[in-house]
Structure 1
Amino acid sequence: MSTVREFRSDPGAVAPAKAAVREAQSPLEAVQRLIRAACEDLGLPPAVYEYLKEPARVLVVNIPVRMDSGEVRTFTGYRSQHTDVVGPTKGGVRFHPAVTLDEVKALSMWMTMKCAVLGLPYGGAKGGVVCEPRTLSRSELEGLARGYIRAVAGFVGPERDIPAPDVNTNAEIMGWMLDEYSSLRGVVTPALITGKPEVLGGSAGRTGATGRGVVITIREAADRLGLDLRGATAAIQGFGNVGSHTARYLQELGVRVVAISDVRGGVHRRDGIDVEAAIEHTRRYGSVVGLPGTDPIGSDEVLYLPVDILVPAALENQITMANVDQVSARIVCEAANGPTTPEASEALVQRGTFVIPDILANAGGVTVSYFEWVQNLQNFYWPEDEVEARLEDMMVRAFNTVYKVHAQRGVSMRRAAYMVALKRLADAMAARGWL
């Protein structure tokens, strides 16, 4: 049986110092600084930051899995629930060898901000398991997924905390988790989890939702900047679900995707890469590396190409003070969570780069996850064109709201996004009598 330890945040914990510019900063420190700065910008009561500086609950679980060899291996998993001030918590589950408790806590806090920017009735959550999924067989992966949901089953649910896919997890894994949870509860519970197969209640349009949302924000930014996307150039770091769909939708708008990279390396072609060919090559060989008709390039080199649009769609801390001077794109759109450190982001903005922050740029996924949850609760499902139209409307409205604060207050888009989010969260706290 899985064992679970529950930790509640220490309300007296000391926040990190505001000063000190450092190249190396944990994602948790970064999001705490951004939340505190937005609270100060808005003149909010100190209690708002006290409520939000740490997750309300963090779970650490031990997951025993019987391997194909017959031996039992125990994996460490986490679930962080940041705040439920506006509704149940919501967030993905990632399988990755570098998962840490602080990372999961930070990601749950980013999810809160993301949901608040879009006006969704959720707080943020995030889960993770420390593992290398590429070394696991399909049966071992299924055992791990089922073991994880068993371990956290008492802490999740449609009205409490709704998991979803994240790095190295997908619809199939969500299906396994849903089946395990439903077996434990003795009733099919599709609203438990989002990003699952359509046949199990998944939403049409969910797979490409994050990438579609990314491209909607790029399109809106290009319009404000007077950049014609037909013939504009783009480079994408990370070619998983988000990166590949971003590339596809950018190409549909006439953008030339000239470079793509993944964990194994990258490819470059000045005249533009055939995105569909790159997707098929990656499906067959596990990497974009070796795509015919392209030149090899390092995974990180895509960050430094002279392109109009740079999309970091991999992991955190890819653009830091150590390499920010090499980034020359006109627009940096953060498809990943926290790919740019706060100091590096400020440096980009100061020299005229338009940075679309993660909590706005990649919110398309959680928005369509919200649509999926609503459809599950109603047991009434929408066609894909309706899902896409609703996503378009919500992403454009969110971009316009953030851009208005950016223009009126003279702050970066990141600072503006946090101000929008914190205002909504503070209003909810006041309405519930917390302040």
Structure 2
Amino acid sequence: MDGLLWVNPAKARPILPSGEIFIDEILSDNKKLNADSIALKKLPPQTQEVLIELGFSSWCNKENIYIDYQLNDTLNWKPVNTGNDAVIRLGNLSPGNYVLRIRKLNGFGINNYTYKIIRFAISTPWHKQWWFYVLCMLALLGITLLILNIRTRQYKISQRRLERQVAEKTKELQEQNEILEKNDTIKTRLISIISHDIVTPLKFVTVAGKNLIEKRTLMPEELQMETIQEMTNTSQELQLLSTNILNWIKYQNENRRLAKETFNLHELVNQVMGVLNSLAKQKKLTLQNRVNSNMEIYQFFEPLKILVYNLLTNAINFSENSAVVIAATQKDEHVIISVSDEGVGMTPEQIKNIMADQFIISSANVDNRKGNGLGYLIIKDLVKIMGATLSIESEKGKGTKISVALPAVKINTAPSL
């Protein structure tokens, strides 16, 4: 070194690193910010790192500069490397408010520092906001209520389905029980009819036939003929009764398929009368068909034929030496078929019993005249099948008139030529 340096030690003064702390630059994820920027007070939630670059005078010796920093009042101060780059790096920051304190040692002495405070904040992401938690709780509550509602509805639907199944099963059991009760009633009625109205006549035929064989030579010819006639009448009555029993059993089956058809009512009555003429002659009865010869109706043919058969049979059984008349009149879309006789008639109590649902009658109930009540049972069953109505007019000792109002949509009553 050329020249002369003159120093007065008494007057030499140390140069100390005192003074203000300078901030050269603040970076938030490489984005520059001012220390007093509003953006610094609300950094985005995804902020990864905040850098604070410190500045110094060009003439100072950086080795004599001691700077520390403290974040959010932590007890420990961390030193800043003031070598090449005096940078404070803050990473892994959670959302919240931060206070960065920076201090610089001014020289000699205890607590001889200069301080700088920088405040910044990292915004809380939307999924960590209080309102988001409230929404989540409300959503969870809503989902829970929805699930409960769905489960409740499913339970109610299942309950209703179960109730329907129980109701269907109960209905099936009731129907089966009704069928069993009906079958039991049929069996009871058949036993009653067979024991009283079939076995007794058969015993008579057996005894009468045995007497004819064993005591024929001892019996007058007139008594023999009378016995044979009684046996014939009894056999014929048994035949009619058996036919009626078969007809009655046939229509006890509710699943029996029937089809309506158009037919001539006058001809149907003639067919039935042809079967019963011999029985009527034995009782000195005349059968009169007063149905219009051109009357055509739309109904169940076979059930109506059996119905007319039983109406006429009942009239014949309880009449003699008179006439049995069958007639038919039209009223709107109905045909009223009536059978009148001049027989023994009935009391109001007997009519009430006949119209009862559980009507059973034996031969001793009508002035000791032969009868089993099966005819009226068949009549009432067939009336139900055809959707008709039954009415009885009778006076004791003067005869009976039985009327059946029959729905018949197609009616032709053109006068006879």
| TM-score with structure 2 setting the length | 0.19
Structure with bigger strand share is: 2
Q: TM-score, normalised on structure 1?
A: 0.19
Which structure has the larger Rg over C-alpha atoms?
2
